Amino acid sequence: MPFSVTTSRAAFILLGKELRLEFRTRELLTATIVFALVIVVLFSFAFDPTPAESRRYGPGLLWIAFLFAGSLMLHPSFAREQSNDTLDGLRMAPVSPFSILLGKMLANFIFLSLAEVVLVPVFAVLYNVSLSGIVGRLIVVLILGTLGIVITGTVFSAVSAHARMRELLLPLLLLPILAPLLIACVESTGSLFAEQPALDRTWLAFLAGFDIVFLTASWLLCDYLLEE
Amino acid sequence: MSARRIVGTLIAAALIVFGGYAALFIAPDEATMHAIQRIFYFHLPAWISMFTAFTVVFVANIGWLTARKQKWDSLGVSAAEVGVICCTIGLITGPLWARPVWGIWWTWDARLTTTFILWLLYISYLLLRGLLEDPERRATLSAIFGIFAFLDVPLVYLSNRLWRTQHPQPVILGGKGSGLDPTMAKVLLVCVIAVLAIMVFVLIDRYRLELLRREVEELQIEVELRSLDAPASGTSTTRKVQP
């Protein structure tokens, strides 16, 4: 292919397109952040936690909010292309299918991370959790967890884009797959919120393993995923 | 029905009847759990059948993606349905056994949680198939999901193992699993073979049904195409208004 570009370059071009598209309206990002905030607030009504309890349940609540927000936010990633018939254009581009997937994953990673950047401080204030001294380690956990959500989520967004009731289908496909990721994220965040904050390396390794397994699987299967 | 199928069905029926008899009357009484422990002779075989069925789904998914033969897709959906049934049997017999022995219906132990997630994943797989119209696309996309689901299983197990390390081991299959009584082991073997045989028979039947269904679908499309062609060939205008 004379006009072919490298996978990473194509992925970054696509990332630029996704970011431009989103920051023109910011509708996806705004909706995601507001939705996650609603979950955080509703949880405090439902459980009315004391400071000790919010240390105990806070990590779970935070990650449930991210997971739900992610499963809603990832849906338009391919559905948007589908409704405007632009996916065919992408397919015809002389780039590897993995670069399309990778570009979308990177874009979704940025969107979800931005939502988390807003949400984590709000959560810390509302639930009286002190973030001082653990920010750096928390970011590591957040990055690994978010990667896991967007890697599987972007693939399933492409899977569900062709189906009927696709808005409902994506969470159904995504949330059970993410069960181990949720456990790992909640446990590692929980050990950071404890009286003696510590970073559990086993869970970090598990999260990294999760990301690697599914990134490899998406790399191997992307040709089939994006075929017409 | 061919003679081979009749013989096969009879053998499977004889096996399950004998297995049931052996589990109830031949197997020795378990020291602490007594009669309730006999559910084990159907609980574990259901589990083994489930894992076999889901492995078949995984193989069929890869088979479809690499070979693009429709039979792989048919095998995949058949095995997924049979696996979900076996999984449901395991999930029902488990709590029935756990309640008198552990004192609780359910616990979030690694094995139990993994099975539950597995059940959810393969129900999602079947749901996904139902919501995709185009047969080719349905096969490909559900195969991708199936592979992801299968890869997720060891991760679910590992995460729960790491998480709930303090949890007591399941009573029979814990570390001391080798302590099974020889008669018990023989009865168990019969039951495993019996349940597996029935699983395979159901799977074969379901697979044939799927092939027949595909044939009907193709014939229907052909009929529709012909009825579309008919007015174009200019036979009669009245045929168009027919319902």
Report, as an integer, the average pLDDT of B157-163.
81
On the 0-12 / 13-18 / 19+ scale of CB atoms within 10 A, A44 is middle
Answer with the residue of higher pLDDT: B156 or B64.
B64
Question: What is the residue range of B61's domain?
Answer: 3-226
Cβ contact (<8 Å) for A179 and B134?
no
Least confident of A201-215, B33-47, B155-169, B205-219: B155-169
Q: Is B239 on the interface with A (CB under 8 A)?
A: no
Which residue in the set A155, A165, A224 is minimally distant from B140, CB to CB?
Answer: A224
Average pLDDT value for chain B: 83
How many C-beta neighbours within 10 Å does residue B91 have? 19
Q: Indicate the number of domains in chain B.
A: 1
Residue B234 lies in a domain: no
Burial A155-178 (b: 16+ CB within 10 A, else e): bbbbbbbbbeebeebbbbbbbbbb
Give, in order, the Cα–Cα distances in Å from B122 to each of A84, B52, B129: 31, 14, 11
Supply the ipTM of this predicted assembly. 0.88
Distances (CA, A) of B123 to A58, A176, B44: 30, 11, 21
Rounded CA separation B33/A92 (Å): 65
* Chain B interface includes A202 (CB < 8 A): yes
Q: Residue ranges of the alpha helices (H) in chain B?
A: 3-21, 40-67, 70-102, 110-131, 135-163, 182-232
Give the tens place of pLDDT for each residue, A83-127. Answer: 778 888 888 888 888 998 999 999 999 999 999 999 999 998 888
Single out the residue of A45, A204, A222, A196 nearest to residue A139, CA to CA. Answer: A204
3-state secondary structure of A54: helix
Mean pLDDT over B181-205 rounds to 87
Flag whether B241 is in a domain.
Answer: no
The sign one gets for the Cα dihedral B173, B92, B104, A55 is positive
Instruction: Return residues 58-97 of A near B (CB < 8 Å).
Output: none
| Residue B166, pLDDT score | 42
pLDDT at residue B1, rounded to an integer: 62
Inspect the interface and report whether the beta carbons of A217 and B160 lie closer than 8 Å: no
Dump pLDDT digits (tens) for B29-42. 776 677 777 888 88
Q: How far is CA A174 from the centre of its chain?
A: 11
Convert the pLDDT of each residue in A196-209 to its tens digit. Answer: 888 888 899 999 99
B108 within some domain? yes
* Residue pair A208/A149 in contact by the 8 Å Cβ criterion: no
Question: Is B152 in the A-facing interface, judged by CB distances under 8 Å?
Answer: yes
- What type of residue is B243? P
Provide the percentage of residues in chain A whose pLDDT is more than 90: 46
- Res A226 pLDDT > 60: yes
Residues of chain B contacting residue A224, judged by C-beta atoms under 8 Å apart: 65, 140, 143-144
Question: Which residue is listed with tokens 């378990």?
Answer: B30
B166 or B124, higher pLDDT? B124
Domain contains B240: no
The answer to which of A43-52, A55-64, A204-213 has the lowest mean pLDDT is A43-52
Q: Is the pLDDT of residue B238 over 70?
A: no
Q: What pLDDT is recorded for position A218?
A: 93
* Contacts with B, A 154-193, CB within 8 Å: 155-156, 159-160, 162-166, 169, 172-173, 176-177, 179-180, 183-184, 187
> What is residue A97's predicted lDDT score, i.e. its pLDDT?
87
- Of A45-54, A123-132, B41-50, give the lowest mean pLDDT range: A45-54
CB of B112 less than 8 A from some CB of A: no
- CA B67-B70-B74 angle, to 5 degrees, is 120
Structure tokens belonging to residue A77: 């990633």
Q: Is residue B236 part of a domain?
A: no
Confidence of residue A161 (pLDDT cuts 50, 70, 90): confident
**Average pLDDT rounded to a whole number, residues A13-17:** 89
Query: Which one is predicted more confidently, B171 or B194?
Result: B194
Choose, out of B109, B124, B161, the residue to mutate when testing the contact with A (most A CBs < 10 Å).
B124
